[in-house]
Amino acid sequence: MKIVAANSDAWSIAKGKDPNNPSVLRFRPSLQHFLADANYPRRLTIVWTFEVTDSSGMPSDTQSADMKVFEDRLLEALDPDLAAILAFVYTTRGTREWHFYLSDVNEVGIRINQALASVPKLPIQLNVEDDPNWDELRQVFLTCARQT
């Protein structure tokens, strides 16, 4: 069994039930077979902070389009050879987070910088943590299993 490219994989969507704190979680159920893959012991979180423009707390159509372009650029740079695996995307009031699993932080950093070189400065922050057991993705699966 092999990890497939993010754009070829099936994604599931879970919506938060708290109307005061809307959230949307997009994740890849197929990655359950790869939890704790030793080739990807670290998790990169990219957080995009956006201005909330309406009561939904979700990004506007324009913001969503910009984030889609951003995600596509990341996937073009990281996904073909699985340098990093996009596991889930979490959006809540004022932020969207992309969670990738990876091994070579330096290589991924170089690729991200190259992919975004022609893009104006974005409201993003990057953070890398050790997560060899893929605990954050495990939590996504547990949370979504409880809600069904």
pLDDT digits (tens, 9 = 90+) for 23-32: 999 999 999 9
CA distance 85 to 122: 21
Q: Please give the pLDDT value at position 75.
A: 97
Q: What is the mean pLDDT of residues 90-109?
A: 96
Which CATH architecture does the domain made up of 12-147 adopt? 2-Layer Sandwich (3.30)
On the question of pLDDT at 6 being above 90, the answer is yes
pTM, rounded to two decimals = 0.95
Hey, where are the domains in the chain?
Answer: 12-147
The pLDDT-based confidence of 37 (bands split at 50, 70, 90) is very high
